[in-house]
Chain A
Amino acid sequence: MEIQERAGERTLSLVFSGEMDHHGIRDALRRVELAVDAALPRTLTLDFGGVTFMDSSGIALILRAQQRMQSLEGGMILCNVPQQAKRVLEAAGINRLVTIKS
């Protein structure tokens, strides 16, 4: 899985591509945290446009990122979530905990 960072004026976009499973997120949790700590954004956007598959590993990543942003008193948005990943979020009830922009 690949992560591209796009930092703006107190915003940070992380663009994910590839398979977001346990194998794929091995280093991703840490990389997300490092990127957030470096940019200290008011708003973090997780762009899932390139995610070809996601399982519960993606849920942990999303919830971790959200916690990090809450501790910075910032917000988080999830965007471009493909159908398969969206169904996983719904099955886990995560769609009620995070802001998803389609």
Chain B
Amino acid sequence: MKKTPVNEVKLKFPSRSSNEGFARGTVACFAAQMDPTLSELEDIKTAVSEAVTNAILHAYPDTIGTVSLKIRILQENLLEITVRDRGRGIADVEQARQPMFTTGGEGRSGMGFTIMESFMDSVSVRSTPERGTTVVMKKRLSEKSRKRA
């Protein structure tokens, strides 16, 4: 049986770099209802920034395409973020996830996936060349009772 999420929001925006700040700010606003710590909020914003920047930069290198963002609170303290594009796709996901691997040239360091993995509890990547990429990230926030202690 599929459990309905506690709360969720979906949005779509064009792959313009000015939307990077918008996307991570939106996720931070929505996640605020979970009463996260400041460092949890920063982790989430950073991971979202990486995933959304990848969609903007790599999925649609020479065109403007659509980026979809879905934010779900699955349980009281379990956050799930999905970033999807219909762009170029990744031929070898395992290779793309390696630290320092980049096809992005000089302005890139190849550390985006490594940062997502380090700041979220799980990161899954599904991709089909010429069809697009879906990144699903989950993070369990600390219990409120523990935070107050």
Interface residues, chain A, CB within 8 Å of chain B?
A: 19, 21-23, 25-26, 29, 53, 55-57, 59-60, 63-64, 83-84, 87-88, 91-93
Contacts and interface: CB of A to CB of B under 8 A. Distances in A.
A82 to B, nearest CB: 10
Contact of B111 (A21, A83, A87, A92): A92
Contacts of B24: 53
Contact of B20 (A22, A29, A84, A91): A22
By secondary structure, the B interface counts as: helix
By secondary structure, the A interface counts as: helix
A19 B28 CA distance: 15
A101 B45 CA distance: 25
B106 A60 contact: yes
Given A29-B106, A55-B49, A87-B39, A22 B111 contact: no
Contacts of A87: 39, 42-43, 46, 119
Given A53-B45, A60-B107, A87-B39, A92 B115 contact: yes
Contacts of B109: 56, 59-60, 63, 92
A92 B116 CA distance: 10
